[in-house]
């Protein structure tokens, strides 16, 4: 089995955790202002995800 780059796991888990926190804050607590605070975190973790996918693909080929 080929190794997947750690950035891929950081991006995947980070995006999932932020999405769950976003839903909890928005739906259960009713905080509408949290959307603007979480957008930079989404961008950071999605960047990790893309970089990790690219580096993993480079290692597999």
Give 48: exposed, middle or buried? Use CB within 10 Å, 0-12, 13-18, 19+.
buried
- Provide the pLDDT for residue 53: 93
- Tell me the three-class secondary structure of the chain, residue by residue: CCCCCHHHHHHHHHHHHHHHHHHHHHHHCCCCCHHHHHHHHHHHHHHHHHHHHHHHHHHHC
Angle at 52 between CA 57 and CA 24, to 5 degrees: 135
What is the per-residue pLDDT for 1?
A: 53
pLDDT in tens, the chain (61 residues): 578 889 999 999 999 999 999 998 888 888 878 888 889 999 999 999 999 999 988 877 6
User: Per-domain residue ranges for the chain?
Assistant: 6-60
Report the predicted TM-score, pTM, of the whole model to 2 decimal places: 0.83
């Amino acid at each position: 089995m080929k190794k997947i780059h750690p950035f891929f796991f950081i991006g995947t888990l980070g995006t999932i955790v932020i999405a769950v926190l976003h839903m909890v804050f928005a739906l259960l607590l009713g905080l509408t202002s949290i959307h603007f605070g979480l957008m930079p975190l989404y961008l950071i973790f999605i960047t990790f995800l893309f970089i990790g996918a690219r580096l993993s693909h480079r290692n597999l080929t």
